[in-house]
Chains A and B, each alone.
Chain A
Amino acid sequence: MIWLTVTLLAFAGGVLAQLRVRSPLANPTLIGTLIVAALLLLTRASYGTYLRDVQPLTTLLAPAVVALAVPLYRLRALLARQWRALLLGGLSGTVIAVAADAGLAQVLRVSPEAARALLTAPATSPVALQLAPFTHAPPALAATLAVLSGLIGALILPPALSALGVTHPLARGIAIGAVAHGVGTARAREEGELTGAASSIGMGLAALSVTLLVALLA
């Protein structure tokens, strides 16, 4: 119970910080994660203990992902008109991200376990977890790198896309969702419902395309 309390309060603190500080680093998920991690280290509590305590949050994740169908349905007419941009943009983004992760891991001589875990980072963490037996990656590492990749994407992609001149909500959303999946989609929703809906399409496409890539290559 105590760690559930800590997590809720740490995240609420992150939301408050975001209201006060206009910085991409003032991200509630990042702030919540850092506070919880610091307290776990200080009290020498194990991650297993923590995970048991926050089980209710983990349980709510599945219906929350299902709920992404609602904005997709509300905006269906607009999204259907732009299906080509969404489909091709999303698929190319995910494939390029997987290729870049694989190539750089080779060039930079990353350990084989980490290199395999990095392959699935552009897909949402449940996909990374389920593909681990096929990529021969340590499942926990694959899931962790995937969700951290989403978090980093949530921090750096909105300003990076602005710098590239990508201003349209659909283009921004599909780009964020294609590589930064869940946490990225939570961030994309802050820009508006259209950006969030495009991001959830990108996340769904990434789940499919990373699975296909692994099936083809493994």
Chain B
Amino acid sequence: MTPPLPSPPPPSPTSPAPASLTARLNAPARFLLGLGVLMAFAALGQALVGALHLPLPGSVVGMALLWAALGTGLVRLHWIGDAADGLLGILGLLFVPTTVGFLQFLGAGAAWGVWLLIMTAGLLLGAGAAGLLASRLLRPEGSPDHPEGRP
């Protein structure tokens, strides 16, 4: 007769051995592991863009490569999840150095008014068309997390 309550931890069918090893890392160490993996893919994307002379940003190519690596199981989501969420949480901060660059062109003076007007019109027309077209093409489904999700 075996007791009904198992005293040793049962072999977990959901997480294989390597997963539990990284799960034992403390949060900062796991963050650093994730950051390292993200930087590796950024560098990989950069190298690929340079070697193939692609007119694309290396980081966008790196994003596609990481997506493929997650899909094939080469990279596990829990290695990078915390680091990704952390970086994306401050994504808006990382653009400030570039946006401040408008200071280099203050000399353009009144031309800025026309530039901003054109950009605003382009944004509204493009996003308006995209939003309306996508709304029309969306397949109805009882998606779990959108407010109007009545199938």
Q: Mark B106-124, 1 if CB is under 8 A from A, else 0.
A: 0010010011111111111
Contact B63–A7 (Cβ < 8 Å): no
- Give which listed residue, B88, B104, B116, B117, contacts A68 with CB less than 8 A: B88
Interface residues of A in 157-186 (CB under 8 A from B): 157, 160-161, 164-172, 174-176, 178-180, 182-183, 185-186
Q: How far is the CA of A130 from the CA of B10 in the complex (A)?
A: 54
Known A-B contacts A51-B97, A130-B56, A175-B134; A104 and B121 likewise in contact (beta carbons under 8 Å):
yes
Chain B residue nearest in CB terms to A28: B92
- Chain B residues within an 8 Å CB radius of A150: 95
- Chain A residues within an 8 Å CB radius of B41: 63, 66, 69
- Chain A residues within an 8 Å CB radius of B1: none
Contact residues of A: prevailing secondary structure? helix
Contact B57–A183 (Cβ < 8 Å): no
- Chain B residues within an 8 Å CB radius of A111: 111
Q: How far is the CA of A171 from the CA of B138 in the complex (A)?
A: 8
Q: How far is the CA of A117 from the CA of B142 in the complex (A)?
A: 43
Q: How far is the CA of A143 from the CA of B102 in the complex (A)?
A: 10
We find that the number of chain A residues with CB closer than 8 angstroms to chain B is 118
Chain B residue nearest in CB terms to A150: B95
Chain B residues within CB distance 8 Å of chain A = 35, 38-39, 41-42, 45-46, 55-60, 62-64, 66-67, 70-71, 77, 80-81, 83-85, 87-88, 90-105, 108, 111, 114-139, 141, 143, 145-148
New A-B contacts (13) at CB < 8 Å, excluding given A101-B119, A179-B127 = A62-B45, A66-B59, A67-B88, A69-B64, A71-B88, A73-B77, A96-B126, A118-B122, A122-B122, A134-B55, A157-B127, A167-B148, A204-B63
Chain A residues within CB distance 8 Å of chain B = 7-8, 10-11, 27-29, 32-33, 36-37, 40-41, 47, 50-51, 54, 57-58, 60-74, 76, 78, 81-82, 84-86, 88-90, 92-98, 100-101, 104-105, 108, 110-111, 114, 118, 121-122, 124-127, 130-131, 134, 140-141, 143-145, 147-153, 156-157, 160-161, 164-172, 174-176, 178-180, 182-183, 185-187, 189, 192, 194, 196, 200, 202-204, 207-208, 211, 214-215
**A to B CB contacts below 8 Å, 18 in the list:** A57-B93, A58-B97, A61-B59, A62-B39, A64-B91, A66-B41, A67-B80, A68-B63, A70-B70, A85-B136, A111-B111, A124-B60, A126-B57, A140-B104, A148-B116, A166-B135, A170-B138, A180-B123
